[in-house]
Chain A
Amino acid sequence: DAKTTQPPSMDCAEGRAANLPCNHSTISGNEYVYWYRQIHSQGPQYIIHGLKNNETNEMASLIITEDRKSSTLILPHATLRDTAVYYCIVRGNNNDMRFGAGTRLTVKP
């Protein structure tokens, strides 16, 4: 019951922006949208999170639609090292993180 839907895989050319979509149509008002990524055989790495406003940090930007039913993670200039599985997770403040299948992003030279 991951509460999110993501495409299973995406490709992106190196140096281009990678836009990873996520649907979370049943999100509640107090639930945040989190993005993590997992590079092979490592623990998940936090990327960004938001409630309703768009967010940006040194790694990525998070665009959340006004109705909060979907969001997009943007890696502005993808590199080969960004190849990973990206997980979109919806979580309330006191709830645990439950992972869906994620999107396997492959950045190609």
Chain B
Amino acid sequence: GAVVSQHPSRVICKSGTSVKIECRSLDFQATTMFWYRQFPKQSLMLMATSNEGSKATYEQGVEKDKFLINHASLTLSTLTVTSAHPEDSSFYICSARDPTGTSKSGSYNEQFFGPGTRLTVL
């Protein structure tokens, strides 16, 4: 299947600092990428949908000024957690949609997930 990578895989930061997480689609161009957050023992919660070249659409309850999303190219989206606090500690997972089926799986409009980034804010 298609590969979506995330960097870093884990990060520890001090409270009040900002952290940037990158999401890349490696073998297809993703016009749409998604960011999820997962707290321990809970399911994945969609945070925002990002379309290349336009502003992200945030889910209700997700602060757009705190979670900055940039989708500047068809293969890269970034999530920046600004002024991170301990309650932002979570597993952040990105996903990318293959709109044309050009990925190795060849499936039109399929959505592929990255391996996740574990953020710990001290």
Contact = CB atoms under 8 A, between A and B. Distances in A.
Interface of A: 36, 38, 41-46, 87, 93-94, 96-102
Nearest to B43: A99
Given A87-B43, A98-B46, 20 more contacts: A36-B113, A41-B91, A41-B116, A41-B118, A42-B116, A43-B4, A43-B6, A43-B93, A44-B44, A46-B1, A46-B110, A46-B112, A96-B49, A96-B111, A97-B95, A99-B36, A99-B45, A99-B46, A101-B43, A102-B43
A81 B118 CA distance: 22
Interface of B: 1, 4, 6, 34, 36, 43-46, 49, 91, 93, 95, 105, 108-116, 118
Given A96-B34, A97-B34, A99-B43, A42 B49 contact: no
B69 to A, nearest CB: 14
A97 B111 CA distance: 8
Contacts of B93: 43-44
Q: List the 10 closest pairs (A to B, CB-CB), nearest first.
A: A43-B113, A99-B44, A44-B113, A99-B43, A43-B115, A43-B116, A43-B93, A43-B114, A97-B111, A101-B43
Contacts of B95: 97
Nearest to B4: A43
Nearest to A100: B43
A92 B4 CA distance: 22
A99 B45 CA distance: 7
Contacts of B36: 99
Contacts of B116: 41-43
19 contacts: A38-B44, A41-B116, A42-B115, A43-B6, A43-B115, A43-B116, A45-B113, A46-B110, A46-B113, A87-B43, A93-B108, A94-B109, A96-B111, A97-B34, A97-B95, A99-B36, A99-B44, A99-B46, A100-B43
